[in-house]
Structure 1
């Protein structure tokens, strides 16, 4: 049986050797800076430029902010770019000033007396380019990982410590049988996956915009195609990033299977919503723009998500309804097959009014209201009963824009009925009670 302590001796020895080499290089570089000479002078110039850039950073930030507030009409992308420039103005100024000093010193003194300033200016400019290029990564955590990872990498390469630090990080590894993963592999994987995710997002955004512009594809199929493209691109980016850094995934097959079983039991609702979302997109039962009623919720579909459906109501509220509820519950889709919606209004008139005239006036009133269709579906009015104090009617009319609201159109039709009945002496009865005072009982 192998001794576990003996198995740790070799990687631990590599780590200690790497630490010794890094410390030796840092010590030599520090000793050179302590001794008087042009290296020390260059270090003093660099520190002075850094302090000056720090002071100018605050002043320039206030000037930029005042300039932006004085000009109106900036677009969102322009404001975001200005904010990024303001945040990194100190680093930008330091790169410009150090490069200017480097150019001047190249012309007035020996090139060897300004190489450090030139290298620092190049490093600062590289940091600035990395910071702006990383804005393509939308996820904040991944963006910071990419920025800090590339900053550290280029800094170590500039300092000549790249090989030693790489050996040190590679020595910090976990080995289980044939499976080996090191800190270096994890860092490289994070940066590579971040870059691949950025490329996948750009490609998916471009393809998705093309799909949404294609009017021959139904809205539900557009959503399904976009989701499928995003899942495929991001999945490929993840696995390609893992394989690109040399991590063998076969050793994690058993572990991932066990984790998958655990997640299957713990995330049943989540998986059910995901599957329900795919079913909704495939059977086209609802699509963006449809008007639905689910329980007390009435609104139109704003977006179809992987886990939920966004429904916006007339009062501005946005309900996130799980996909499973739309599959298992009863949903009223007001615009599933077409946009026509029939609305009913009940009213009553007194027995002294001619019912033929009442029906004609009611149809005329409804036809004169905006949004009420007069072709091909006409308003109709029927007698539905003889009540205690009124003749009861039902007025039926059609609309084709339920997203415009139902309560408001009913209210407009009621007002039209009120106006036309008042103009034609049609009375709307109301319950009346007669109270009789009986003679008091004799004593």
Structure 2
């Protein structure tokens, strides 16, 4: 029975120790003497720091407005400085007063001022260091947690608070989880994940700048580095706080079986994405056609590929569709694309001259390649025209296909107009036989109407 009450007794003892320290500290500041004098000095420094913050903040804002061409990160940094000018002024003034009082009076008579200066400087450093955390709610949690810990540590009550939180624990068999262990695990894992994110961003930037690596392998390498770094950070964080992961093996296996049935499509898309990156069949920048969708690959994600069309629409195509469906990759092995257009001319026009004119018209268009010259052939004798096919090559399918076809058609029209080449259209003649009812009745109708 004694063992069951020990944790609760330790909890009460820790709580009582913290309360005694707080009451002793507050009573010391309220009593007349140097502690109270230091409190008044700190209040005066706070007012002076606030006035300096108002004045220098306006000066800093006017100075920044007079500058041009600054990057966004520089402007964000200046904004953060402006927000914390008051705390920075207070830390500087308190540090200066503390240094002077250390030389002209007893060190104990400036202890609170030195403590306030140190805490203010730590608060400023924590505020800037927390900017590495991009998520705003998480950044606020990290900032306040580090501020609270720094305050408790500087007040020499961190051990009492740690004992208090360690007493708030849940015990199931051999497993014990305290509030202190949970907070420590979150802090360690958060720090390691932040470091992993910074390292992964730096490595991703280095990989993307390497022109010897293909775009698809760059994406795969970046994803692999991120997965490895985040996995190592999480594992190290859990092991650092002493949590045994062997007990989670059975639970993770059961969860894996359940997810295998419910997330088949998701897993299929993930595996398909890895296959696409490995076989290099599709890579960022390729121009593809999938059904009615024509555009270029902007990004390759773990679950889908982003395809941007000429009209600005962005299609998120699952990776499985790119593996199982029929995809036309216009720039798989190279960027050369051959286009065909059809036209017809009248039977009275010389076909030899028409072919030469068509080739010259296509060559005059900017995007048509001259070192792969266009060709023109007769493909049939139609009812109303001689039918031709004009073939030409381009090297920039990302610039669009419909517009280049339209430009070639316009060049053909202008060339044919200048040289008197006609483009026929179907015409029909209707002959009225003399014995038909329409031919017989029409004069009678005219006579009657007259």
Provide TM-score, normalisation by structure 1.
0.91
Q: CA deviation at 1:52?
A: 4.2
Moved more, 40-49 or 342-351: 40-49
User: What do residues 172-194 of structure 1 show as CA deviations (whole Å, max 9, x unaligned)?
Assistant: 22222222222212222222222
Q: CA deviation at 1:25?
A: 0.8
Moved more, 191-200 or 221-230: 191-200
Q: Given the superposition, is the C-alpha separation of residues 318 and 252 from structure 1 closer, same or farther in structure 2, using an over 3 Å criterion? A: same
Give the match for residue 434 of structure 2. Answer: none
The secondary structure found in structure 2 opposite 1:250 is coil
Gaps of 5+ in 2: 432-437
Give the match for residue 356 of structure 2. Answer: 360
Q: CA deviation at 1:216?
A: 2.6
The secondary structure found in structure 1 opposite 2:387 is strand
Give the match for residue 282 of structure 1. Answer: 278
User: What do residues 294-314 of structure 1 show as CA deviations (whole Å, max 9, x unaligned)?
Assistant: 223222112212222122222
Matches within 5 A, 1:20-419: 20-54=16-50, 56-375=52-371, 377-419=372-414
Instruction: Confirm or deny that 1:16 pairs with 2:16.
Output: no
Q: CA deviation at 1:118?
A: 0.7
Q: Distance in 2 between matches of 1:277 and 1:73?
A: 40
Moved more, 432-441 or 382-391: 432-441
User: What do residues 149-199 of structure 1 show as CA deviations (whole Å, max 9, x unaligned)?
Assistant: 222211101111100111111122222222222221222222222221232
Q: Do the aligned residues in 2 keep the contact of 1:146 with 1:195 (CA within 8 Å)?
A: no
Q: Distance in 1 between matches of 2:4 and 2:141?
A: 30
Q: CA deviation at 1:432?
A: 4.7
Q: Distance in 2 between matches of 1:321 and 1:398?
A: 29
Q: CA deviation at 1:113?
A: 1.4
Q: Distance in 1 between matches of 2:181 and 2:160?
A: 15
- How many residues align? The count is 438
The secondary structure found in structure 1 opposite 2:296 is strand
Q: Distance in 2 between matches of 1:182 and 1:202?
A: 30
Q: Distance in 1 between matches of 2:186 and 2:39?
A: 33
User: What do residues 116-152 of structure 1 show as CA deviations (whole Å, max 9, x unaligned)?
Assistant: 1111111111121122223233444543343222222
Q: CA deviation at 1:427?
A: 1.1
Moved more, 120-129 or 79-88: 79-88
Gaps of 5+ in 1: none
User: What do residues 374-410 of structure 1 show as CA deviations (whole Å, max 9, x unaligned)?
Assistant: 22x3312222333333222221111111112112211
The secondary structure found in structure 2 opposite 1:114 is helix
User: What do residues 213-266 of structure 1 show as CA deviations (whole Å, max 9, x unaligned)?
Assistant: 333322211211111111011100111011111122223333333333333334
The secondary structure found in structure 1 opposite 2:409 is helix
Q: Distance in 1 between matches of 2:132 and 2:146?
A: 14
User: What do residues 403-440 of structure 1 show as CA deviations (whole Å, max 9, x unaligned)?
Assistant: 12112211211111111111111112234566899626
Q: Given the superposition, is the C-alpha separation of residues 370 and 388 from structure 1 closer, same or farther in structure 2, using an over 3 Å criterion? A: same
Q: Distance in 2 between matches of 1:57 and 1:304?
A: 48
Moved more, 257-266 or 344-353: 257-266
User: What do residues 3-23 of structure 1 show as CA deviations (whole Å, max 9, x unaligned)?
Assistant: 9xx876333322222111111
Q: Given the superposition, is the C-alpha separation of residues 238 and 296 from structure 1 closer, same or farther in structure 2, using an over 3 Å criterion? A: same
Provide TM-score, normalisation by structure 2.
0.90
User: What do residues 53-82 of structure 1 show as CA deviations (whole Å, max 9, x unaligned)?
Assistant: 345445544443332222111012211211
User: What do residues 319-347 of structure 1 show as CA deviations (whole Å, max 9, x unaligned)?
Assistant: 33222221222221111122111111122
Q: Which has the larger radius of gyration?
A: 2
